[in-house]
Amino acid sequence: MLSGRSAKNVPHSRFHAYHNYPHIAVRKAALVIALAIFACVVPRTIPNDTGNKHDLQDRQIDRTRDRVPDRTSLDVVKLPGAPHRGRTGRRVTHTALPNGVRLVVWRDQDSPVVAMRALWRGGLLAETPQKRGITHLLARVITRGCGGMSADQIAGMARRENGHLDAVSGRDSFGLRSEWPVDGWPVGLELMARCILGPDLDFAEINAQRQLIDDEIRQRSGDGDFVAFRAFAETLYRAHPYRMSATGWGESPAAIGRRELTAFYRERYPVSGLTLSIVGNVDPVEAMALVRSHFGAAAPRPVGLPERPTESSGSRPARMREVYRYIERDDARLVVGFPGTTLGNRDRHALAVAAAVLDVRLARALRRRGLSRSSRVYSVPGIDPGYVIAQIRCRPAEVAAAFEIARSVIDAMVARPAGPAELEAAGRALIAAHTESRNRPGSAATALAFHEAHGLGARAYLDYGDAIHRVTQRDVARVVAAYLVWDRKISATIAPRAASPEAERRMRGTWRRAPNTGRAPSTGPRQRVHRYRPGDSARRR
């Protein structure tokens, strides 16, 4: 008999006692909720083995996923100031290894791919007239076998993983470029590292690529735009490497063998001079750990480029600033250009805006006269001074009229600088093109690596829009008066052989004299471009 309680309220076991006390049940529910929240917030450290059969990827997965990098030992240095952000999840970080290798990572969580660029200062700036075209040849063979893998094996792995790897050479740089899916970028980075650290530079591959380059040179000799630009560059730059073509125009790299190519690569492009950029949804700390594991053991070595002559911007006689080439086509090309500026010069952005305004004015003037089939005006800065150029495609009989229109438009630009509406339209066009480029991972990775390698910094690329917005009418008027000077004008005309005596007289200087005869080659209807010596246009008969 129980006193003071009802029998049904008395727990008859420990289980019933536990569940009949409300405060204990509340504690249990809180514990369950806390455990659930902890499981969702804390990141998993168990590797996700994909079961890939390729040895290279298996080793890469073991190295990057099974081992969490120490975040405190990588010394990640962010760009000064606030982090650069565009779309959601974008952030740029900058790091460097003790041996000189530099890494720029732009974390973009919205990007479906990861773009990587490995870049050196060089390109044409690393070449001499005796080795013209060697950097282009190196770019063609450096990914054609490395680290015990043949060219077919490298290409096959890239296809299986939906990746891409190749190399490219330009006026101011040389490097490798690669794009891979987000879950496979460590494999692409290791494959790129193999090609950088141990390229085969096989003799058979060198010969095969050299033959392909010869074929490309012959094919492009009939391209009017290419011929016109080459004539312009060789006249503007009399001794500077910019006068040469990245493809070795007019001269095959036939004298370059494996020994010369290997020595050139080791001398001009050591690992310590490498700049890497990675754009995509990657962890900067993980990227730095991988870069250190691949390139950290390389010894530091000073990197230098050969001395380059300084091109004089002073005036030259008109006969030394005009060049003509014959090419049997149904249209003609006219190129009118001026010496430009450098990437580090404060006039760079103002000159780009001025060129954009001129592009609109010239197209409108040519269209009113019904002369031009196409036209374009743009500014190309370089590590050394570049150029401002106007390219016009028209009918052969309209070349003289097109040149006069181009001259009148440029003179009007000097006398009447761009107005506010023109500046705003030009600025919008330049910023739109830059934004579109930034939204492509490959283009953004190339630009970041280039700016970092040449000491300009990633901020110079990311703040391009702000720099364009700061250009004023006074800036445009100043650069137009300083750079668009007719005494420094270079013109190149590419047209079919004309029948008029004046055209024959003016174009006579383009022909190379036949050996031992002193006469010009045949003027028959063969559709070919005759070879010439640089500077032949300056010699009149």
pLDDT of residue 75: 32
Residue 474 has pLDDT above 90, yes or no: yes
End-to-end CA distance of the chain: 137
Least confident of 46-50, 313-317, 416-420: 46-50
What pLDDT does residue 66 have?
Answer: 35
Model confidence at 223, pLDDT cuts 50, 70, 90, reads confident
pLDDT value at position 282? 94
Q: Is residue 496 very low, low, confident or very high in pLDDT (cuts 50, 70, 90)?
A: confident
User: Is position 145 within any domain?
Assistant: yes
pLDDT score recorded for residue 506: 55
Alpha helices in 147-250 (DSSP H): 151-160, 185-197, 203-220, 224-236
- Determine the Cα–Cα distance for residues 9 and 28; give it in Å rounded to an integer: 22
Number of domains in the chain: 2
> Quick one: 190 and 339 in the same domain?
no
Residue 521 has pLDDT above 60, yes or no: no
Residue 356: enclosing H or E segment and its boundaries? helix 348-369
Tell whether the model's pLDDT for residue 456 goes beyond 70: yes
Place of tokens 């791919």: 113
Same domain, 386 and 322: yes
pLDDT value for 34: 62
Q: What six digits make up the tokens of 76?
A: 């990640």
Q: What is the pTM of this model?
A: 0.75
Does the residue 110 lie in any domain? yes
Q: Assess whether 181 and 92 both reside in one domain.
A: yes
- Cα(410)–Cα(418) distance, rounded to whole angstroms? 11
- CA 203 to chain CA centroid, nearest Å: 29
Contact, 106 vs 88, CB < 8 A? no
pLDDT greater than 70 at residue 22: no
Domain boundary among 226, 260, 295: 295
Better-scored residue on pLDDT, 503 or 466: 466
> Which 3 state secondary structure label does DSSP give 226?
helix
Among the three residues 262, 295, 328, which one is the final residue of a domain in this structure?
295
Classify residue 164 by burial, with Cβ atoms within 10 Å: 0-12, 13-18, 19+. Answer: middle
Structure token pair of residue 431: 């910023």
Query: β-strands 102-108, 90-96: how paired?
Result: antiparallel
Tell me: pLDDT of 307 over 60. yes
24 CA to centre of own chain: 66
The C-alpha angle with vertex 249 and arms to 512 and 325, in degrees rounded to 5, equals 40
Q: Pick the residue with more confidence: 417 or 444?
A: 444
> Does residue 41 register a pLDDT over 60?
no
Q: What is the pLDDT of residues 368-424, one digit of tens each?
A: 988 878 899 999 999 999 999 999 999 988 999 999 999 999 999 999 878 899 999
The reported pLDDT for the residue numbered 384 is 93
Please name the amino acid found at residue 3: S
Residues 267-291 have a mean pLDDT of: 95
Instruction: Write the CA distances from 373 to 252, 323, 490, integer angstroms.
Output: 33, 22, 22
Does 400 share its domain with 480? yes
Pair (229, 94) in one structural domain: yes
- Between CA 281 and CA 288, with CA 285 as vertex, the angle to 5 degrees is 100
Confidence of residue 276 (pLDDT cuts 50, 70, 90): very high
Two structure tokens written together for 230? 């080459």
Average pLDDT value for the chain: 78
Residue 234 identity (one-letter amino acid)? E
pLDDT band at 505 (very low <50, low <70, confident <90, very high): low
Domain boundary among 259, 280, 295: 295
Average pLDDT over residues 192-208: 93
Strand-pair category, 102-108 with 173-181: unpaired
Identify the CATH number of the domain in which residue 231 sits.
3.30.830.10
Q: Assign 354 a pLDDT band (cuts: 50, 70, 90).
A: very high
The pLDDT, as a whole number, for residue 180 is 95
pLDDT of residue 281: 93
Ramachandran class of 97: left when φ > 0, alpha when ψ lies in -120 to 50, beta otherwise:
beta
Q: What is the pLDDT of residue 348?
A: 96
Rg (CA), the chain: 31
Residues with Cβ < 8 Å from 485, sequence gap 6 or more?
A: 315, 338
In a domain, 420, yes or no: yes
Provide the pLDDT for residue 36: 58
Same-domain pairing of 364 and 236: no
Q: Lowest-confidence range among 77-91, 134-148, 299-313?
A: 77-91
Q: What is the pLDDT of residue 44?
A: 34
Residues 228 and 329 in one domain: no
pLDDT for position 541? 34
Q: Is residue 46 predicted with pLDDT exceeding 80?
A: no
User: Residues 125-133: what's their mean pLDDT?
Assistant: 86
Tell whether 343 and 283 lie within a shared domain. Answer: no
Tokens (6 digits) for 519:
């006469």
| Rounded-to-integer distance, Cα 274 and Cα 295, Å | 9
Q: Distance between CA 453 and CA 121 in Å, rounded?
A: 6
59/240 Cα distance (integer angstroms): 47
Look up tokens 């007289």; give the residue.
Answer: 505
**Mean per-residue pLDDT for 106-122?**
94
Asked if residue 389 is part of any domain, the answer here is yes
Q: Do both 85 and 184 map to the same domain?
A: yes
pLDDT tens digit sequence for 289-300: 999 999 999 999
Residue 331: Cβ within 10 Å count: 16
* C-alpha pair distances (Å), 338 with each of 40, 386, 476, 485, 505: 63, 9, 16, 7, 25
Nearest Cα neighbor of 326 from 53, 513, 490, 529 is: 529
79 has pLDDT over 70? no
Tokens representing 316 are 């030259």
33 has a pLDDT exceeding 70: no
State pLDDT tens for residues 150-182.
999 999 999 998 999 999 999 999 999 999 999
Task: Indicate whether 28 pLDDT > 90.
Answer: no
Residue 303: is its pLDDT beyond 70? yes
Question: For 199, which DSSP code?
Answer: B
Q: Is residue 40 part of a domain?
A: no
Give the residue numbers spanning the domain of 400. Answer: 318-514+523-538
Residue 504 binned pLDDT confidence (cut-offs 50, 70, 90): low
Q: Write out 464-509 in H/E/C secondary structure.
A: HHHHHHCCCHHHHHHHHHHHCCHHHCEEEEEECCCCCHHHHHHHHH
- What pLDDT band is residue 228 in, cutting at 50, 70 and 90? very high
Q: Name, in order, each residue with C-beta under 8 angstroms of 269's C-beta and a sequence gap of 6 or more.
A: 120, 122, 126, 174
pLDDT at 328: 80
User: Among residues 408, 478, 235, which one has the least CA distance to residue 338?
Assistant: 235
CA distance linking residue 314 with residue 338, whole number of Å: 11
**Of residues 419 and 38, more confidently modeled:** 419
pLDDT digits (tens, 9 = 90+) for 241-258: 999 887 765 555 557 889
Residue 491 included in any domain:
yes
217, 341: one domain: no
Say what the pLDDT of residue 252 is. 52
Six-digit token string for 109: 């969580």
What is the dihedral angle through the alpha carbons of 256, 259, 263, 266, rounded to the nearest 10 degrees?
Answer: 110
Task: Decide if 453 is inside a domain.
Answer: yes
- Total Cβ atoms within 10 A of residue 424: 12
Task: Indicate if 356 and 477 belong to the same structural domain.
Answer: yes
Residue 120 belongs to a domain: yes
How much is the pLDDT for 55?
A: 45
The DSSP bridge partners found for residue 179 are: 115, 164
Residues 246 and 120 in one domain: yes
Cα dihedral angle (516, 520, 525, 529), rounded to 10 degrees? 90
Residue written as token pair 């500046």: 423
Q: Which of 321-330, 419-428, 480-489 has the lowest mean pLDDT?
A: 321-330
